[in-house]
Structure 1
Amino acid sequence: MPIRRFRVTVAAVPLLAATLLTLTGCVTVHGEEVLQPAVTKGEAGRVLDRFGEQNNKANEDYDLDVNSRIEAGGLREIDQAGLKVRKEDYPEGNPDYEPLEFSDTRFLIPQQRGWPRWFVADTLSNRNDLRWFLVFVKEGPDARWHATHLSLLDDSERADIGEFAEDGDGHVRRVPLGASAGLTVAPAQLGKTYAAYLKDGSGDDFAPGQHTSDRVGAREQYRRTPEYVTQYVDEATPEYPPVGLRLADGGALVLFSSRHFVKQTVAQGREVEVPPAAGPLMKGTPKKSLTMERVSQQAVVVPPRDDKGDGIVFYNRLEGLVGAEGS
């Protein structure tokens, strides 16, 4: 958004102010210091339309450059790797590609100061019966909007999340990333906290479920077998900041990213099995071991600090293979 400049006539102000204006020439009200909607609904609609058009071109032609124009963050890393793999298999593109279309869209727009600014498109697509939660971020007044997070929710999950809190002007309320968010875990710490939890499942920050206790339990089955040994490393992604929307009950829906490495080392006499999707991303030669790197995007409800309940609940987890290394 351009900086708004207001010029004040010298004759209309006291002498001291007039002297200052003579020196400075004008008074500037910086848009980044004013609390205002992150985007108008009209512009949000155009951003989503542009995303759809460019996304169709990128996925029909497997064009990484086009994808870079509309995506950033963890979503871009996941999709760039996917496009690279498909381009390897189908260098001429996908002649049977079905264009992506959106419908029944609701824009969740907070009021913000400063940059970056963001909003969420809550929309249906012709891909499935799930609601797409697409986060769009604009880094500065001269930057373009890029999609950075995607979560897919069915109707029951969307209803279970509850209503979003709104301010007096009807805008959704964004959640600060630090401790002032008043949540059991600050949004900025979610990636680090989740990575620590996945090591052994200790602590009570997360509610039991598929992406928490079940995932920790499943790992135990594969750490050591007669065929191979598996090692897991999980990391936060501070380079991909989360976003949070305040819920009416004081909690928050937070969308955040994380990074996960899985290394399998085979026993003597065994061959390393390389999944087809890992081939085009491979570095090195997988003689005895293969390390696969994935980026994951999560949609979770974090309860308020004074009402922890069962803990942080996962509603969606979208994961993509982004790298592979053999040794």
Structure 2
Amino acid sequence: MRLRARLTTTTAGLFMALAAVTSLSGCMTVHGETAVVPAATEDEAEQVLERYFEVTNEARRTYDAELNATVEAGALAEINGAGLTAQGALAEEAAAAEGEEGAEGEETDGAAQLSYANPRFLIPQQAGWPKFFMVDTEIEGNESRWLLTFSRNSVDEEWKARYLSVLQPSAIPEFAEDEDGYLEDIQIASEDTGLSVVPGELGTAYTEYLDQGQGSFLGGPYTSEVLAAREAAAEDPASSTDFADVPSEQDAHPTFAVRTADGGALVLFTMRMDEKRTWAEGETPQVHEMVKPLMQGTADSAVTLQRYATFTAYVPEGEDPVDLRGRMAGVFQALGE
């Protein structure tokens, strides 16, 4: 795998939770549809990472969802964009309550700037589109590591982050390398991977697990604990809750998979996980302050939270269960009734 030895830091960086770069040259850009080539050069990947942190830090300071969307795509952009919109609305309300001018566009002490250090650039050789690469990096002041996945659909597009996995170092596996030292990309629809679940079918398998309460998944915060929380919600006398879990379409939210050194795979996939809560007569609906700015309609008796969730899964070789190691989830819109 491709490493960058020198320490890299920047004072620009990300919501919570780099695109103006040089193009690949020669046949790598012209024939990327059929030739097996590195998805990016290491220098290009570093420029993408630097710009990503610069732009997202600026977006966090100014609550600018549109700016954030210039370096993020898919569910990640929807989640973080909604968060910025909600934070900006709450900041304006707070400023108005204090008799000050609106806070839009102003810097805030609450938006701590993020810096990265010691990034590893994990680049596969691929044919066709979309192409992607990953970055495993330290975040200053954080014990967890960030695994960022950038992709684009053509050489004319800018690289954007689609997945952000916040993981303990032990949760990041050792990756397999080809003879040139690049990651081994896995075709997500292939039935010949030797994996316990075909990567492209992971969303469907997870949906069935949540619906039936059984399946080839290890217990944990994104599996057995989710089922337990839903069972508890069903017993709440003040309200009833309905869940709708749907695997996202590959065109809009592609799944990515790379081979690990032990023969398994690290798979990134996206789910749409909506939740409708209806309160009993006489009960007052409870709406989180971060949801209110995203609300359409009035919450008289029910609220539907429209949510995306992205997952980082380790899929073993053979028949062992899948280990969901990371999740980023967020409401991007709410409907009141």
Q: TM-score range by the shorter chain?
A: 0.7 to 0.9
Aligned position for 1:83: 84
Give the paired residue count. 298
Query: Greater RCO between the two (CA within 8 Å, min separation 6)?
Result: 2
Letter in 2 for 1:114: G
Structure 1: segments with no counterpart, 5+ residues: 6-27
CA apart distance, 1:167 = 0.3
Q: Secondary structure at the match of 1:58?
A: helix
Which residue identity is paired with 1:222?
A: A
- Distance between the aligned counterparts of 1:31 and 1:269, measured in 2? 61
What CA deviation, in whole Å up to 9, does each residue of 1:49-92 have, x standing for no partner? 01111111111111122111100011101011001101101243
Counterpart in the other structure of 2:183: 172
Contact kept, 8 Å, 2:66 with 2:81, in 1: the verdict is no
* TM-aligned CA deviation for residue 155 of structure 1: 2.2
2:290 & 2:242 partners in 1: Cα distance?
Answer: 20
**Aligned residues of 2:24 and 2:40 also touching (Cα < 8 A):** no
Query: Is the aligned partner of 1:193 residue 2:205?
Result: yes
Q: Does 1:287 align with 2:300?
A: yes
Normalising by the residue count of structure 1, what TM-score does the alignment of the two structures yield?
0.87
CA contact (8 A) 1:3 1:30 kept: no
Mapped contact 2:24–2:41 kept (Cα < 8 A)? no
Match of 2:16 in 1: none
Deviation at 1:280, TM superposition (A): 0.6
Q: Does 1:157 align with 2:171?
A: yes
Q: Report the CA distance between 1:30 and its aligned residue.
A: 2.4
Q: Which residue of 1 aligns with 2:5?
A: none
Cα deviation for residue 29 of structure 1 reads 6.6
Structure 2-normalised TM-score?
0.84
CA spacing shift, 1:31–1:270, aligned 2, 3 Å: closer
SS of equivalent residue, structure 1 residue 321: strand
1:2, distance to aligned residue in structure 2 (A):
6.4
% of aligned pairs identical? Answer: 38
Residues 272-281 or 205-214, more deviating: 205-214
Structure 1 residue aligned with 2:269: 256
- Bigger mean CA offset, 178-187 vs 138-147: 178-187
In structure 1, the partner of 2:49 is 48
The equivalent of 1:318 in structure 2 is 328
Structure 1 78/2 Cα, relative in aligned 2: closer, same or farther at 3 Å? same
Give distance in 2, aligned partners of 1:323 and 1:232. Answer: 15
> Partner letter of residue 223 of structure 2?
T
| Aligned: 1:273 with 2:297 | no
What is the distance in 2 between the residues matched to 1:313 and 1:240?
21
**Cα distance between partner residues in 2 of 1:174 and 1:31:** 15
Question: How far, CA to CA, are the matches of 1:29 and 1:207 in structure 2?
Answer: 43
Cα deviation per residue 1:78-120 (whole Å; 9 max; x = unaligned)?
0110011011012434421332211010010000112211000
Q: Residue 69 of structure 2 aligns to a residue in which SS?
A: helix
Distance 1:2 1:125, change over 3 A: closer
Q: Distance between the aligned counterparts of 1:188 and 1:112, measured in 2?
A: 17
Query: Any idea what SS the aligned residue of 1:181 has?
Result: coil
- Report the secondary structure of 2:269's partner residue: strand
> Which AA in structure 1 matches 2:42?
K
Q: What SS is found at the alignment partner of 1:104? A: strand
Greater Rg by CA: 1
